[in-house]
Structure 1
Amino acid sequence: TNAGIDNVQIFLDYKEGNFMNNITYSTGDNSHPQHVVVTDFNKDNQLDIAVVNSYNSILKVFLSSGNETFSASSEYITGYSAFPNSVAVGDFNKDGWIDVVVANSGTDNIGIFLGFDYPTFTTSNIVLQKRDSSPYYIAIGDFNNDSRWDIAIACRERNNIAVFLGNGNGTFSEEQLFYLPGSSRPQSLIIGDFN
């Protein structure tokens, strides 16, 4: 994502690490795109793109045409002055459709978009316990080995990681907070089994 020039830039990989000329897609005037993910939203076995725009608080989806091109498909409001910074995808209610979660730094919440027969989503929010948390980066994983997707959020202004355990039906448990030392201001996080 190129926040300064309001677009998504794609480099197609060819053999031996060579890339063809880049392809760009506009995210809208004064949109300030922050983060991008790829997944198959419409079950056509092609990778699609979802991007969150901070300045206009929009989640924008580009569907793959299957021939190395994409079309702007749908836009979803993440909230008034939500200023989303990060997006992640998974199947949180186990219905076989891709769901989306967004870290809304301006409104201190997580935007949840439960997919059902794309482009339809039902939306809800999880409000963080601490005001002015500035949820900055979101990641998903199965933290308690129950085969359900859970959410972790890096909260920049409160120097903590907020964790929400998934219930498997699109809802989540109460927030658990893990504090970081001093003025850490976490900007991102990654999940893996390191031990």
Structure 2
Amino acid sequence: MEQYIQGQSRDLVDQAYAKFVTTMFLTLDKIAKADPKYEDIMLLENYAAFQNSLYDLANMVPTLAKFYHEASESYEQACTRHINVIIFYQFERLFQFVRRIEDLMYTIPPEEIPFQLGLSKMDLRKVVKSSLSGVDKSISAMYKRLQKNLTSEELLPSLWDKCKKEFLDKYESFAQLVAKIYPSENVPSVSEMRDLLASM
């Protein structure tokens, strides 16, 4: 039917689409903000549903294509936020340690960081031991947490892949930081972590 709408009718239909979808997105954001704990889950699931239902039509109607891309961007942003929350929840001590080092790197030379309170080699070892011993269980817990909050099962595989990639990126940054600041200390390698994630 869309292909038969032309001229002034096309303009009216496009305006109606724009008004309807804009209102829908604003309402979705407002409803999601009402429950901050599940805000990102609600957003990512609804934006994914919007994209799935509009895929074919967005290819034919330029007005809807714009909203399709907007939904896609909003979906990615919600995914990123949600995944970061899950990773940080499971590996909080590790990434707080990293954040403290990164913050200090702006003010002091890297070689002085191991002499700062709470950032000694011993502190690094404690953080690594508490965060990475039983890392397979922690990663499984991340998966379960991701799975628990989703109502849309078909999103789980892609979200889990994004979660693994994001965790690996963060871990790689951590490993590089350790190599730079604590060159004599050993942490599990990025390739070990990659292999572990691939097996899950």
TM tier, smaller: under 0.3
Give 1 or 2: higher helix fraction.
2
Q: Which has the higher strand share?
A: 1
Larger radius of gyration: 2
Task: Using structure 2 for the length normalisation, give the TM-score.
Answer: 0.23
TM-score (norm 1): 0.23
Structure number with higher relative contact order (C-alpha < 8 Å, ≥ 6 residues apart) = 2
